Structure 1
């Protein structure tokens, strides 16, 4: 069996994280980052303890990128983690946008894979036939 290295969430790209960072105010971003550190489905009644641990001087995008690529955080997870937490923080507008955008990108990626399933290898073999 071939092993696959996963360096971040498996279905979220940089431009999607940039959009989220641009549309969250600093308070909302700190709450989202704090919420993403919980592994339980439900959030605790108060995020205040976790929010105090978030460095306020680090820009939102960098915090999202750190979560996205860190072991025992976002690495290997899906967009569902972020979307779920956005809904819990009453940012359904961003959660809706995020879910639609990720699925659209996945659909585009799947379409490209179906059109050219072997990538450059398939092109090379066709030329040599």
Structure 2
């Protein structure tokens, strides 16, 4: 794609391309593989669901909480490693940081996700917190 061209993805096209998944969440690609530096997607979480513990490799991630009051970002096993994201909240998840998304509320949560790369990377960690360190930082 030319760097001077504008790319629009209408709502009905969001999610037609696949993106990395983790159990408990539905990720829908929006602008993927159209820029060498950035990509975007949406994440939907039904009530009382959570993702697997995972990281996004070398990509920094920005999360914007669009709707739903139960969205929670967890970045470690301790209670202080947990923050609720109310609609309108922004969060930065640095590269390689293990985390988990959860919807502890009664309504569906929707987040807009922007990552610092051409396409999303999702590395699920089946052994739990700290397992990427045991596996060479999960670089795949």
| TM-score computed with the length of structure 1 as normaliser | 0.28
Instruction: Considering fraction of residues, name the structure with more strand.
Output: 2
Instruction: Tell which structure's C-alpha radius of gyration is larger.
Output: 1
| TM-score computed with the length of structure 2 as normaliser | 0.27
